[in-house]
Amino acid sequence: MSIKKWAKEMKEKRKEDKRLQKAEVHAAVSIAGLAAALTAIAEENSKRELKLKLEHEQSPAMKAALASAAAIVASHCAQVARSLGATRCQLANVISSALSGTSTSHILILSAAASTSLRGATTLKARARCRNRGLNGASALPIEMDNSKLDEDLDFERCTSVLAKGATLTVGTANGKSMARLVSLHLNNEAKVILRIMKRHLLNIITSKKDCLVLDLHAELYKDSGGDEYDRCYQIVLMTTSGTITLDMADDYQRYKMWAKTINQMLKLQPSLTKNELRFRKY
């Protein structure tokens, strides 16, 4: 490996590591804010005097205990966020905002934000793990696909619709570059499988797109020799008219399975589909 290529890879690695660190901090801060809001609700319930006391209702002592437990959880979440790199000002702003509103809609918004942040951090972590395996020379193992069972466990119409709508994946090109792109696949009027790679602007506007014809595919997984049995990453490798293109599915086995089987079935059906069938096929 040349020094120039090594320096470029190290620069990309630092950039990805920094992005992952920011995502983890954001997720931790979001959870701390949600915990603070739940603490505020628990405290309000513990102090509120109930006008109607029913036998099945919790006692004031139980509500006070729940409020105390929620406060401990919120404090621990804040400490975790600080250990990951969150600033005091960042935490103070989020917690202050969380305490200012304890309505149902406010809690739902905080829960959705925390859930999204966690998923984002998990995805970035999986991508980083797969990238590091590739850089460390982890061997790629081929995955055998049982084509005889495709019709039994594959909703082809639904899956082709999902692939036509596309998803954001890490795409590896023939020249060794790797970038996040919006990827979709569909059958054209000549029954050919078309791979479309699109680049989105920050405002969610598609700024460029590139189409190429898919000729064949094979699937791979990356797994460390000393790793856990379920700690693996999946890739779909497409042979196209623009060279070899890889679609990184990270550790999402269900997504890998749907995409790999659907593309394989699309390639298998290419010769059998007529123009009339394609004309009425909607994605």
Dihedral angle over CA of 68, 73, 74, 75, nearest 10:
90
Query: pTM of the prediction?
Result: 0.49
Mean pLDDT per 10-residue segment, the chain (283 residues): 66 75 81 81 66 51 70 80 81 81 77 77 65 49 47 77 90 80 90 89 70 85 51 82 87 87 86 50 45
Say what the pLDDT of residue 156 is: 85
Say what the pLDDT of residue 116 is: 76
Which phi and psi (to 5°) does residue 22 adopt? -65, -40
SS3 state of residue 1: coil
Say what the pLDDT of residue 55 is: 47
Say what the pLDDT of residue 58 is: 52
Is there a contact between 263 and 214 (Cβ–Cβ < 8 Å)?
yes
DSSP notation for 42-95: HHHHHHPPPSS--TTSPPHHHHHHHHHHHHHHHHHHHHHHHHTT--HHHHHHHH
Please give the Cα distance from 223 to 4 (Å, whole number): 28
Say what the pLDDT of residue 179 is: 82
